[in-house]
Amino acid sequence: MNKKYLVAISALLLILLISLSYNFRLSNIKNRVYLPPSSVLVQPDMGTAIVSGSWIPQEYSSYSFFLPKDITTTDIFCDKSVGTCTETRVILGYMDYAYGTEKYSLFGHIFEYQIREWTDEYLKATLDGGGRIFDLTINFKNKSATIVVSDSQSNPTASPGTQTAILGK
């Protein structure tokens, strides 16, 4: 067999094996991530609410704040006396770099919401920043949380859409 032909076939097989291994690792990374169960704990006598879980987007579009391949985990601490909810969110996000290299990266964010309303049944808080408005609702009765993300109308590139995510896992 021609030596050049054998080298070309060997190179193609090596590229195929590397590609399959790389794609296998990408497709299985989500299977190796363990997310905390969702929970909502309210302590009315202390005026606090603690929420943990993962944000699960209800839809995707070109506008989406949460991307389809992202994995999130969040912890939210609300203090009625201070009037804020502080969210610590970690995202295992899928990045598509300019040269076609696809990788997952870990991002950490801290959000501070201003509490607008706190009743025996729920609390509502808002964060207005970064050209987006984040509306957080924590329902004490059914132990759930929802976040609605929309573009601020003061944002010159505002999109008409909104995106909703629920606390889950």
Averaged pLDDT, 141-162: 79
Select from 162, 168, 129 the least CA-distant residue to 61. 162
Residue 99 DSSP SS3 = coil
CA 9 to each of CA 14, 21, 65, 129: distance values in angstroms, whole numbers, following the listed order: 9, 18, 44, 55
Encode pLDDT of 68-126 as tens digits: 777 888 899 999 999 999 999 888 876 665 556 667 777 888 899 999 999 999 999 99
108 bridge partner residues:
90
Is pLDDT of 156 > 90? no
| φ, ψ (nearest 5 deg) of residue 100 | 85, 5
Encode pLDDT of 22-37 as tens digits: 555 555 555 666 677 8
